[in-house]
Structures are given as structure tokens and as C-alpha cells.
Amino acid sequence: MSSPLPCHVQEIGQLFLFEKLAPEQLTRLCADGRVEQYAPGVVYTEGQPASCFYVLLEGTVVMYRKVGRDDVEVNRTSQRGVYAGAMQAYLGDRTPQVYNNTLRVTEPTRFFVLPADTFATIVQEWFPMAVHLLEGLFFGVKNTQQAIGQRERLLALGSLSAGLTHELNNPAAAAARAVATLRERVAGMRHDLAVIAGGQFTTATLTVLIEVQQQTAERVAKAPQLSPLEAADREDTLTDWLDDHSIGHSWQIAPSLVQAGLDDAWLDHIAAKIDQATLPTAIRWLSQTVENELLMNEIGESTARISHLVDGAKQYAQLDRAPYRPVDVHELLDSTLLMLAGNIGPGIAVIKNYDSTLPAIPAYAAELNQVWTNLIDNAISAMNRSDKGSLTIRTARVQDRLLVEIRDTGAGVDAEIRDRIFDPFFTTKPVGEGTGLGLDIAWRIVVDKHHGNLQVESVPGDTRFQVLLPLTAPAPNPEESQ
């Protein structure tokens, strides 16, 4: 609560903000403004319409900013003349006129108070050149942030697209090679069918061969994973078996039979069912069956990989999904890691330490993916200089918040610049390699849009960016979704 008091020109004229004003200007201030005394408590609250400009005459003020659900103290002072409130009223309706912080007083405190519209009129009349300069500075910085922020997003998209193209190219090329080889194998099988049609196999032998072919195809699907040493030993054994049974090109046939999980016992099983004269043709036929099955497996795995990458890209971009909805942060983190896989050097280990009990949280999913992209890409860059290290993604519940911690083993963030890394345009990268907005964008998405917190802990070899997000959140402000 406040109570009005008389305004004295001599008192306000001693304040550093007004000490250069002429007597008639001070008289107008006293006439258009007022002096009010506030009891301990809240003067105004962050986010409310900014209706007044406050100058401290006597007492103690404490300023807070909202971080998540907490009010964080950012300043405490008893210095006469400090000011707060509607400081950008001179910009009018070109920018939202709301209080950017919460102001409290801890003891009976006097303020000189100007209504916001009066403050704007006086500043524009008395300091027209200064107003133009301040307007240019304010909107210039804002426009630059928007332009470079858009450029930052485009650069990130280009990097991600290049990585995705690289990841898609490998399975696509594998599938194309497998199709070409399969076409050759099918042509060979057509030749062997012509041989069979020539009467080399009896009806009984052909029936047995088809049965064995089916059983062989089933074994291919269940083939065990062998170590290189085990595979080499089994190839030697099968090559000897094929040579002993006078089957040519044994060195070519044996590897595919081993890859299919076949061994000499299985070949003995086949030899027992087919006479020696037709055994070489039967083995070659079965070998082609095996190769065709393996090629079809390769095509299936390659196309499944492509489908997985496309699904990951859709998950990352959040196509066809509501912008604000309950999301599983693990799905978002995985899709971001998938998109950045091409940027992660071979010497960097990726460790995921997820808390599977965490619930879905309400969030702007695509924008959180942008946060993960900026933080993970920075971590990768810090380690790629040495081409080795580990990237650890950890999630956990911390009271009523969800923690996402991105940790790298790079050189770390120097203590003297740690407080500046979230400032717009601040970067430690060489000219042309960074805009200085990546962490600023991440900060605004986490703190301003999701009412969370973003902090960093760093020593050489251990840097941790920690994102804290509310497990529950109020419905989004319509202005936030713009």
C-alpha cells in the first residue's frame, strides 16, 4: 500500500537523474508527478502493465526476476535516485509495456512517481535527439537479433541437413548395391532352373531340394553373430568340406554359407539326402538361395534404416504436431542426436543416462529440439578440437522439475567469461564461425518461454549445461506462441 506525500522541487533536484534539469523542468516534474510512501511489500509485479516510472527517494528496494517458478533476487539497494518501472514508455505501443521485474521494498520507502504516459511525453519533448538514438539502439538490436537468429536457425538447418543426407546416403547406397547384385543372382538362378528343367534332378530329389532350400532360408533368418575369428575358422572348415565333395569355387561359396549360419553338420545333412552326382549343383543352388536371402536382408535393413532416419527427422522437426503439447524429452533428445550423428567424430563416445520414470511434460517440442541442438553442437565442437572425449546426456527429476544435463569432456568455459556466454552476440568462436546467439536463443526458449532455468558448471574436462523444466506448466500465453 502507498500514501501520497508532498513533492519538493529541492529534493528531486538533488537526484542524479534530474540534477541537470532547469528549475521550470523540476517544477513540471513535481506538478505532473507525485511522491508516495510504500509500506514493506510488493510495489509492482513482473509481467503487469507498466503504468509508472519510480525513482527512489528514501528506503530500500529489492528487484527480482522470475526464473521458472522462483523469484530470483537480481539487485538490492538503498541508493537515492535509482529508478525502475516503465523505463521504455517513450517507445509507446511499438513494444509491450510491461514490468520486466518485480519490485519490493523491505522498509517504509518513498518514491518519486511519474505516470508512464507523462514520463513518455516529458522524455520525448525534452530529449528528442536522445529518444531517436535510444529508439534506434533498441529496435536496431532487436532487429539484428531476429535477423541473425533466423540466420542461426538456417545455419543449423543446413548443418543438420548435411548430416542427414550423409546418414541417408549410406543405407541408400547399400540398398542399391544389394539390388544390383540380387539381379545378377536371380539371373544365375534362372540358368540353374533351366538345368533342372533339363531333367538332371528326379522328382524325388527336386522335392527334397525344395524342402532343404526352405529350411536353409529359415536358418539364414536365425543366423548367429560370429566373431571374425570364429567366422574364419568356420570358412576354413566349410572350404575343406566343399573340396572333399568335389564342389568347385569353394572359396567363393564358403563365406556366404558361414554368414548364413550354416556349418559342416548342415552340409552333411544335405549330402545325406541328395546323391553325390547332383550334390555340386544342389550346393550351388542352395548357395544362391543363401546369397539372395542375405541380399534381401541387407535391402530390408537399409530401407528400415532410411525409414528410421526419416521418422527421426519428422520427430526433430515436429511436423504435423501441435506446437505446444505433452512431450517425452527422451524422444526429442534421441531425434536430435540422430540428426547430429554426422557431426560427432569417431573418437567421441555418446553416453545416454536416461531416467525412464520421467513423465511427459508440456512444452514447445520443436523449440526444445533447438535448445538440444545448440547445446549438443557446442559440446561436440569443444571436443572435436581433440577428436576424442565423451558426450553424456543425463535426465533426472529434481523436486518438481525435469533435469536435462548435457556434459562434455572438452576444454571447458573460462571462469571470467562464464557469466557472459548467454549474452546476445557473445561468442568465443573465430569470426564467421559463430553468431553468438545460440546460447541466447536457448536461454530465451528455456527461461522465457518454458519458465525453466538454464545454467552451466564447468572445469577443464567437465562442462555441464543443465536445463531445468517444470513438470507441469500453465497454459501458454498466446503471445508466446508467435
Report the number of distinct structural domains present in the chain: 3
Give the distance, in angstroms, between the CA of residue 170 and the centroid of all CA atoms in the same chain. Answer: 23
Question: If you search the block for the grid coordinates 527336386, which residue do you land on?
Answer: 206
SS3 assignment, position 170 = helix
Which pLDDT score, from 0 to 100, does residue 357 have?
93
- Whether 335 and 461 share a structural domain: yes
What distance in Å separates the CA atoms of residue 357 and residue 169, rounded to the nearest whole number?
36
**Residues listed for the chain:** 482
Q: What is the pairing mode between strands 348-353 and 389-398?
A: parallel
- Whether 39 and 167 share a structural domain: no
- Find the CATH number of the domain harbouring 37: 2.60.120.10
Q: Is 108 in contact with 38 (CB distance < 8 Å)? A: yes
Question: If you search the block for the grid coordinates 517507445, which residue do you land on?
Answer: 91
- Upper half-sphere CA count for residue 354 (Cβ side, 13 Å): 13
Residue 210 lies in a domain: yes
Residue 151 lies in a domain: no
Closest among 340, 427, 356 to 391, alpha carbons compared: 340
Residue type (1 letter), 229: L
- Whether 13 and 99 share a structural domain: yes
Residue type (1 letter), 459: V
Residue 69 lies in a domain: yes
Question: If you search the block for the grid coordinates 532547469, which residue do you land on?
Answer: 22
Which pLDDT score, from 0 to 100, does residue 436 have?
43
- Whether 474 and 330 share a structural domain: yes
Rg (CA), the chain: 36
Parts of the chain with a pLDDT under 50:
425-426, 429-437, 475-482
What distance in Å separates the CA atoms of residue 399 and residue 388, rounded to the nearest whole number?
34
- List b or e across 193-207, with b for residues whose CB sees 16 or more CB atoms inside 10 angstroms: eeebeeeebeeebee
Rounded to a whole number of angstroms, the distance between the first and last alpha carbons of the chain is 36
Strands (E), 318-357: 324-327, 348-353
Alpha helices in 340-452 (DSSP H): 365-384, 438-443
Closest among 27, 24, 53, 31 to 120, alpha carbons compared: 53
Last residue of a domain, one of 253, 280, 308: 308
Residue 153 lies in a domain: no
Which pLDDT score, from 0 to 100, does residue 258 have?
82
Boundaries of domain holding 59: 2-126
154-163, Cβ contacts within 8 angstroms, sequence gap of 24 or more: 155/435, 156/370, 156/373, 156/374, 156/377, 159/343, 159/377, 160/316, 160/339, 160/340, 160/373, 162/342, 163/339, 163/340, 163/341, 163/342, 163/343
Residue 146 lies in a domain: no
C-alpha cell at 291: 546369397
- Whether 302 and 335 share a structural domain: no
Q: Is 435 in contact with 427 (CB distance < 8 Å)? A: yes
- Whether 113 and 190 share a structural domain: no
What distance in Å separates the CA atoms of residue 123 and residue 119, rounded to the nearest whole number?
6
Which pLDDT score, from 0 to 100, does residue 426 have?
41
Strands (E), 45-188: 52-58, 61-67, 70-77, 83-85, 102-105, 109-115
- Whether 463 and 433 share a structural domain: yes
